[in-house]
Structure 1
Amino acid sequence: MINEIGVDPGIDHLSAMRVLDKIREEGGKMLIFESFTGGLVAPESDDNPWNYKFSWNPRNVVLAGAGGAVKFIQEGQYKYIPYHQLFRRTELVNIEGYGRFEGYANRDSLKYRDVYGLKDIPTIYRGTFRRPGFCRAWDVFVKLGMTDDSYVLEDSEDMTYRQFTNTFLAYNPNDSVELKLMHYLSIPQDSELMDKLSWIGLFDDVKIGLKKATPAQVLQHILEQKWTLKEDDKDMIVMYHKFGYEKEGKQKMIESSMVTLGQNSEQTAMARTVGLPVGIATRLILKGTINTPGVQIPITKEIYEPMLAELEEHGICFNEREISYQGY
């Protein structure tokens, strides 16, 4: 049986281990491993100021990062980012042909040291991709408390989006909801951030219509009105790994990236990258190509070589190239 065999975790394991094993087989010592995955909207369907639409469970998007402090190690120093700071600590990555992405840290990166055989690595960091500017705007929801799923709002059914936003702001009979929010979070009036918040509907006089809803459920409802894929919209999966290592006294670096696009709102890249690995793994087990007994995750050559080869036949390909070493 193979677990963790979707896109992330799944394809990330396969693609990372292929490069890691090659580096180690050639005598390299790992110094840096970074890995990012993002489920986003394809460029041709990107028609909103957030540069984002749902292609996965919206609830998981709303609650992302809320499970506690994320953990990673950087240059030998353990790092922890609490939830209220998570979306202000991002990294920028450029993917050739697709532009820039920003990544925020994802859960506990430290556990992958044992999984990938990187026990003594000085830097390991796993994250999630969004387009630049998304995380700064999402941080507004976090700071206001809109992503909280621990309590129920009174009279949420009859509340409007505007009233929902106002519940998190101090009382002032003379200031508008917009002005109070800008003052509270020090947002300039002409900021693109306010454009994002206005576009998503936070200040609209539209009834929520949800009974006994938590703030997170209300926020999800608001976002679903604007971030749901239209019939002909295409989504996009972006995956990126960076491997820094030392070999024969020289520091080297490899980056590996994969971008795949969906066909429409039903035949999505998300569905394909989650579903195909499961089907391929099942067939390889039945054929006897994969025959290691017990419960496995896809980190051995017996598993990743045939699976990556078949994924390439379906257009899910990784571009691996050497780049100049970039430390911290």
Structure 2
Amino acid sequence: MNNVLVLGAGRVARPLVRHLLSRPNYRVVVASLAPSEGVRRVLAAYPARGRLLEVDAGDPQALLPLLVEADVVVGLVPARLNVEIARLCVREGRPFINTSYTPPEMMELDEPARRRGVLLLNEVGLDPGIDHMSAVRLIRSVRAAGGTVRRLMSCCGGVPAPDANTNPWGYKFSWHPRGVLMAARQPARYLRGGEPVTIPGEELFHHSWPYPVEGLGTFEVYPNRDATHYLEPYRLEGAEGFFRGTVRYPGWCETLRAVAELGLLEVEPVELPAGATWADLTTRRARSGGSAAERAAAVLGTDPDAEVVARLEWAGLLSDRPVGPRRAAPLDMLSERLERLMRYRAGERDLVVLKHTLTAEFPDGSTQILTSKLVATGDPWGDSAMAVTVGLPAAIATDRLLSGRIGAVGVQIPVLPEIYEPVLDQLEELGYGLEESSLTLYPGPLDP
């Protein structure tokens, strides 16, 4: 019997815990101070092998007694906690699997982890996760056929399903709102014409493009972090174009650009006078008078009746409602406000879209445009598509590791065939496979 320690019991934990407990040879301990009701119910269905402990996952001393009893540790906690947990896992010789991006501090643990024979597997969710695995498999298939990858556009996002897209922001939270807003502050980088294009965080939402997805309509896409960081893991050396993007409904980028320009993504606390309102906070950069809408419009360089101002009004950001704490970070105040407004209601579904578009050249002179697409919709009375597509890859990887079928050690992301092939295959068996298509173009009379 293998022991799995799962740290965190939030939005994405239930599919992972359920998948592991469906295997008769696992005992699962979930450590969380705020477990979701869904996780409680899954554990209750397996009383002999599932256990919930109210433990602070950010407290190494509290975790240590649980960690030494585990055969593997799975982290579903805020990304800022992962490095300390990984450090503890290396010290105690326990593998660690998580769904978050790999920070530089995690990479510093690579050599110690290798010496201890410990795997620290990061980025094994959806984005990052399934996006890496499916992209690398697509690239590998091109190379196996003798082709050369010239361009890759890899875009992913989670949004409300069309029948649940009921607010003017075109968005609802399927994961922690603060994480969404923090991601909106990240700088980005991609490759165009063989040269890197760098976008500072404060300019991120000035760079967006229409993004059609067959059968779903036109979304918009904006750059997702540093795509060039993955050129080597993807084996894309020599490619002339590589872009990783985030998918949203049209209007999102305009709204987030406005929110940023109004100072609502700042993480440093601001001092507010007693009785300050949301309008006071949102328009504190205004240099002119008038209504809250007029002051906000002046900062944004637009008209008071513009759609983006109407979105701010809908969210109560220009209202006379008291803002709450007198000293807090605007981003945190906005996160709490939007979480109340933009929740999924009972019976509403989310939508996950992942799409790769790859252009490859072959020795016979042909060019192929290959597309790989995953579209998943949540269960209106069960798990969200985001929870499933983040949680299941980590669960499958955990299962593969415990069954002795992953031999890698050190700090890794899921770009090794021993990881991504079985994970993608099992996801397909579970109904979350990617649909692939290709178009082959040959030189013709109008080509130079």
Same topology, TM > 0.5: yes
Q: Name the aligned partner's letter for residue 378 of structure 2.
A: G
CA shift for structure 1 position 324: 7.1
Q: Which moved more, 1:77-86 or 1:262-271?
A: 262-271
Q: Is the 8 A contact 1:15 1:308 kept in 2?
A: yes
- Correspondent of 2:130 among 11, 16, 20: 11
- Cα separation, partners in 2 of 1:154 and 1:182, compared to 1, 3 Å: closer
CA shift for structure 1 position 90: 0.9
Q: Which moved more, 1:267-276 or 1:162-171?
A: 162-171
| Matches of 2:390 and 2:326, distance apart in 1 | 33
The residue correspondences of 1:234-313 to structure 2 (distance < 5 A) are 234-248=349-363, 249-264=365-380, 267-313=383-429
CA shift for structure 1 position 210: 2.8
CA shift for structure 1 position 185: 1.9
Aligned match of 1:209: 324
Q: Deviations over 1:37-86 (max 9, x none)?
A: 1121111211111111011111111122424x321110112211122321
Aligned match of 2:291: 176
Q: Name the aligned partner's letter for residue 131 of structure 1.
A: Y
Aligned match of 2:281: 164
Q: Name the aligned partner's letter for residue 264 of structure 2.
A: M
CA shift for structure 1 position 117: 0.8
Structure 2 segments unaligned to the other structure (5+ residues): 1-118, 442-448
The residue correspondences of 1:1-328 to structure 2 (distance < 5 A) are 1=119, 2-67=121-186, 69-155=187-273, 158-172=275-289, 175-248=290-363, 249-264=365-380, 267-323=383-439
CA shift for structure 1 position 293: 4.8
Q: What is the number of residues matched between the two proteins? A: 321
CA shift for structure 1 position 4: 1.8
Local SS of the residue matching 1:169: coil
TM-score (norm 2): 0.68
CA shift for structure 1 position 287: 2.7
Q: Name the aligned partner's letter for residue 317 of structure 1.
A: G
CA shift for structure 1 position 122: 1.1
CA-atom RMSD, angstroms?
Answer: 1.9
| Matches of 1:323 and 1:81, distance apart in 2 | 32
Structure 1 segments unaligned to the other structure (5+ residues): none
Q: Name the aligned partner's letter for residue 72 of structure 1.
A: Y
- Cα separation, partners in 2 of 1:137 and 1:265, compared to 1, 3 Å: farther
Q: Is the 8 A contact 2:181 2:265 kept in 1?
A: yes
| Matches of 1:123 and 1:91, distance apart in 2 | 16
TM-score (norm 1): 0.91
Larger radius of gyration: 2
| Matches of 1:148 and 1:101, distance apart in 2 | 27
Aligned match of 2:61: none
Q: Is the 8 A contact 2:270 2:330 kept in 1?
A: yes
Q: Deviations over 1:13-55 (max 9, x none)?
A: 1111111100000011111011111121111211111111011
Q: Name the aligned partner's letter for residue 351 of structure 2.
A: M
Q: Which moved more, 1:238-247 or 1:300-309?
A: 300-309
Q: Which moved more, 1:285-294 or 1:230-239?
A: 285-294
| Matches of 2:415 and 2:139, distance apart in 1 | 10
Q: Is the 8 A contact 2:164 2:349 kept in 1?
A: yes
CA shift for structure 1 position 200: 1.4
Q: Larger RCO: Structure 1 or Structure 2 (Cα < 8 Å, ≥ 6 residues apart)?
A: 1
Q: Deviations over 1:73-128 (max 9, x none)?
A: 10112211122321121122211121112111111111101111112211111111
Q: Which moved more, 1:289-298 or 1:213-222?
A: 289-298
Q: Deviations over 1:183-233 (max 9, x none)?
A: 332323443222212211112221222352111112212212211121222
CA shift for structure 1 position 131: 0.7
Q: Deviations over 1:251-310 (max 9, x none)?
A: 221111111111147621111111111111121223333344555322122222221111
| Matches of 2:406 and 2:332, distance apart in 1 | 42
| Matches of 1:324 and 1:63, distance apart in 2 | 40
| Matches of 1:22 and 1:127, distance apart in 2 | 22
Identity %: 36
- Cα separation, partners in 2 of 1:225 and 1:292, compared to 1, 3 Å: closer
Local SS of the residue matching 2:302: coil
| Matches of 1:237 and 1:161, distance apart in 2 | 32
Q: Which moved more, 1:291-300 or 1:129-138?
A: 291-300
| Matches of 1:129 and 1:109, distance apart in 2 | 15
Local SS of the residue matching 1:125: strand
